[in-house]
Chain A
Amino acid sequence: SQQGEEDPQALSIQEGENATMNCSYKTSINNLQWYRQNSGRGLVHLILIRSNEREKHSGRLRVTLDTSKKSSSLLITASRAADTASYFCATEDQGGSEKLVFGKGTKLTVNP
Chain B
Amino acid sequence: NAGVTQTPKFQVLKTGQSMTLQCAQDMNHNSMYWYRQDPGMGLRLIYYSASEGTTDKGEVPNGYNVSRLNKREFSLRLESAAPSQTSVYFCASSGSRLTGYEQYFGPGTRLTVT
Contact = CB atoms under 8 A, between A and B. Distances in A.
Interface of A: 1-2, 30-31, 33, 35, 40-45, 48, 50, 88, 90, 92, 96, 98-105
A100 B105 CA distance: 13
Contact of B42 (A2, A33, A92): A2
Interface of B: 4, 31, 33, 35, 40-43, 45, 48, 50, 58-59, 90, 92, 94, 97, 99-108
A2 B42 CA distance: 8
Contacts of A31: 100
B100 A33 contact: yes
Contact of B108 (A41, A96, A103): A41
B45 A99 contact: yes
A101 B92 CA distance: 13
A100 B42 contact: no
B101 A98 contact: yes
A25 to B, nearest CB: 13
Contact of A45 (B41, B43, B103, B106): B103
Contacts of B97: 96, 98
A33 B99 CA distance: 11
Given A99-B58, A102-B42, A41 B101 contact: no
